């Protein structure tokens, strides 16, 4: 079955569902589970360096909290969760990480947007399903 499983995890309800599915699959396949969180919340335009530093401190605290929660949840089920926080564009970063890490399954949570938004802007899950170099499971 699957040898290397990756979950895209941002602490949202959708990603929590994907994490739970990943934990179950990791248990079934008897493999460790990997999770990637993409940090793209830093301001694009800031008036001062202090604004960027403050945003970075907040982002670090956020990702530290959600990755700890995810590791704790996996540990309760006897699964080792290897977490990684990477800065960058969400889709591009996850696709690159999955390709370079030779993952054979990517789990992502579905976040429903309106049909109009989806047609105009696309969505992260649709773009990941189209661009990922491996099997993609979108968890609802």
Task: List, for residues 5-59, the tens digit of each pLDDT value.
Answer: 999 999 999 999 999 999 999 999 999 999 999 998 666 677 787 887 888 888 8
Per-residue pLDDT, 119: 54
For residue 81, list its beta bridge partners. 33
Higher pLDDT: 39 or 111? It is: 39
Q: Give the residue carrying structure tokens 């179950």.
A: 24
Contact 9, 39 (CB under 8 A): no
For residue 12, what is the DSSP state?
S
Per-residue pLDDT, 42: 67
Given pLDDT bands bounded at 50, 70 and 90, which one contains residue 121? Answer: very low
Per-residue pLDDT, 84: 97
* Cβ-based neighbour number of residue 95 at 10 Å: 19
From CA 130, how far away is CA 41, in angstroms rounded?
Answer: 24
From CA 134, how far away is CA 102, in angstroms rounded?
Answer: 8
pLDDT digits (tens, 9 = 90+) for 66-105: 999 999 999 999 999 999 999 999 999 999 999 999 999 9
Given pLDDT bands bounded at 50, 70 and 90, which one contains residue 122? Answer: low
Per-residue pLDDT, 93: 96
- When computed from its CA atoms, the radius of gyration of the chain, rounded to whole angstroms, is 15
Per-residue pLDDT, 126: 87
* Residue 116 predicted with pLDDT over 60: no
Per-residue pLDDT, 123: 82
pTM of the full structure:
0.87
């Amino acid at each position: 079955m699957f040898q290397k499983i990756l979950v895209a995890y941002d602490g949202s309800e959708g990603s929590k569902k994907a994490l739970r599915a990943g934990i179950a699959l990791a248990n079934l396949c008897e493999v460790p589970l990997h999770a990637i969180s993409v940090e793209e919340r830093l301001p694009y335009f800031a008036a001062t360096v202090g604004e960027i530093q403050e945003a970075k401190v907040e982002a670090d605290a956020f990702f530290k909290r959600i990755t700890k929660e995810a590791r704790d949840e996996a540990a309760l089920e006897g699964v080792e969760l290897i977490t990684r926080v990477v800065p960058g564009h969400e889709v591009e970063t996850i696709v690159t990480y999955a390709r370079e890490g030779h993952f054979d399954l990517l789990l992502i949570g579905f976040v429903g947007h309106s049909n109009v938004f989806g047609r105009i802007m696309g969505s992260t899950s649709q773009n990941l399903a189209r661009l990922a170099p491996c099997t993609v499971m979108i968890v609802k």
